[in-house]
Amino acid sequence: MKLISIVVPCYNEEESLPLFENAINDVIKQMQEEHAELAFELLFIDDGSKDKTLPILRKMALKDKRVRYISFSRNFGKEAGMYAGLKNAKGDFVVVMDADLQHPPAFLPRMYNYVKDGEFDCATTRRVSRQGESKIRSAFARLFYKIMNKISQTEIVDGAQDFRFMSRQMVDAILDMPEYNRFSKGIFSWVGFKTQYIEYENVEREAGTSSWSFWGLFKYSLEGIMAFSTAPLSVAIFLGGASCIASLPMLINAIVKSSKTSGILCAVFFMGGIQLCCTGILGQYFAKAYLEGKHRPIYIMRENEEIYRSRHQAAGV
Ligand code: UDP
Ligand code: MG
């Protein structure tokens, strides 16, 4: 028997979950008809949802033994959810996918065909269009991938997603990266392994709303750049050097024309700006190192299906 774990991070997904449950069960059935050796577990991560996500998961877990869940003590973010899922998944293969059906379950049989014989360690989808997304968001996303791939050795494919079908070896490699500031798109790429990309058109959310604001995505992209590149630190050195050189003609000018207040002011502002900018960049890296140094847990579990089932049983007796 081969076990496939399907990890699903959920944050306020009460509307999507019933749709997801139906869709995934159809695909599981289809895959089991084709491959008799397959068994499945569904591992939902409730990332501190404020709606009925947890009660829905509890019900699903009582009804279906293949359903497991981990409920966090608060919202830790999707990255923490994915990490918790990978860490607790028991499968020979692990799938990570969103609950909102933007990662269509219908891809799973194809993905399995790529990884089942070890030809690939990972199968994933790549959006070739950003249909249904605002123009500004798409433009910034493109810019992010451009900058990222220029300044970091870790290549991040434009349109690559967190929808992954991975072998146990790859999952274990990812778990060996217990960093606190997680940027999965970078981590998936950094660990290497053979990855097959399946291209597809963007699908819009089935229900509910995206929990990403523009500002949230912007901060997340900075997180990605800082986690996988130290190039901004070199920018600081470059800016410092360039401003030193630029100040030389000013100095000569000041000596020749016997100092002008405006010249001095200009130089002071210029230098001050660059220094602040560089200190800021340094500070950001320092802050990340500080957080890593604390070795805080990436997530905290409040309840899982085992706790709930035994509580339910005890209440029933
Ligand atoms: N998600 C999560 N924690 C969060 C935000 C999102 O677990 O703090 C989950 C969410 O439930 C969904 C997936 O991550 O299954 C992707 O989120 P969303 O659809 O909001 O992002 P988008 O598809 O717009 O990038
Ligand atoms: Mg989504």
Ligand 1 pocket residue status of 78, Cβ below 6 Å = yes
Residue nearest to atom 18 of ligand 1 (CA): 210
HSE-CB at 191 with a 13 A cutoff on CA atoms is: 23
Amino acid 100 reads D
pLDDT band at 206 (very low <50, low <70, confident <90, very high): low
Is residue 273 very low, low, confident or very high in pLDDT (cuts 50, 70, 90)?
A: confident
Residues facing 214 on adjacent strands: none
User: Would the pLDDT of 317 be above 70?
Assistant: no
End-to-end CA distance of the chain: 35
pLDDT surpassing 80 at residue 10 = yes
Ligand 1 contact, 10 CB (< 6 A): yes
DSSP class of residue 203 equals: -
CB 175 within 8 A of CB 96: no
Q: pTM for this structure?
A: 0.78
Pick from 281, 278, 279: nearest CA to 242: 278
* Per-residue confidence (pLDDT) for residue 269, from 0 to 100: 67
Q: State yes or no: pLDDT of 221 exceeds 90.
A: no
Adjacent-strand bridge partners of 166: 94, 122
What distances in angstroms separate CA 71 from CA 11, 63, 174, one per listed residue? 10, 18, 22
DSSP-derived secondary structure for 225-268:
HHHH--HHHHHHHHHHHHHHHHHHHHHHHHHHTT--HHHHHHHH
> Each residue of 168-199: pLDDT tens digit?
999 999 999 888 888 888 888 888 899 989 88
The 8-class DSSP code of residue 110 comes to H
Record the tokens describing residue 282, joined without a space. Answer: 């340094």
CA of 231 to the centre of ligand 1 (A): 29
> Which range, 54-63, 137-146, 158-167, is most confident?
54-63
The amino acid at 120: F
Cβ–ligand 1 distance for 102 under 6 Å, the answer yes
Atom of ligand 1 nearest to the CA of 210: 20
| Protein residue closest via CA to atom 8 of ligand 1 | 77
Which helix H or strand E contains 24, and what residues bound it? helix 16-34
Contact of 170 with 121, CB cutoff 8 Å? yes
d(CA 262, CA 258): 12
pLDDT at residue 262 greater than cutoff 70: no
Crossing angle of helices 78-88 and 168-175, in 10° steps, is 120
CA dist 233 and 13 (Å) reads 39
Ligand 1 atom nearest 10 alpha carbon: 11
Going 256 to 261 to 266 to 272, the CA torsion angle's sign is: positive
For ligand 1, whether the C-beta of 98 sits within 6 Å is: yes
How close is the Cα of 239 to the center of ligand 2, in Å? Answer: 39
Ligand found nearest the CA of 82: 1
Q: Rounded to the nearest whole angstrom, what is the distance from the C-alpha of residue 78 to the centroid of ligand 1?
A: 6
Do the beta carbons of residue 115 and residue 122 sit within 8 Å?
yes
164-176 pLDDT, tens digit per residue, is: 999 999 999 999 9
Which one of 8, 10, 11, 140 would you pick to mutate in the ligand 1 pocket, going by the greatest count of ligand atoms within 8 A of its CB? 11
Report the pLDDT value the prediction gives residue 250, as an integer from 0 to 100.
74
* Ligand 1 touching residue 21 (CB < 6 A): no
Mutate to test the pocket of ligand 1, among 100, 125, 130, 213 (most ligand atoms within 8 A of CB): 100
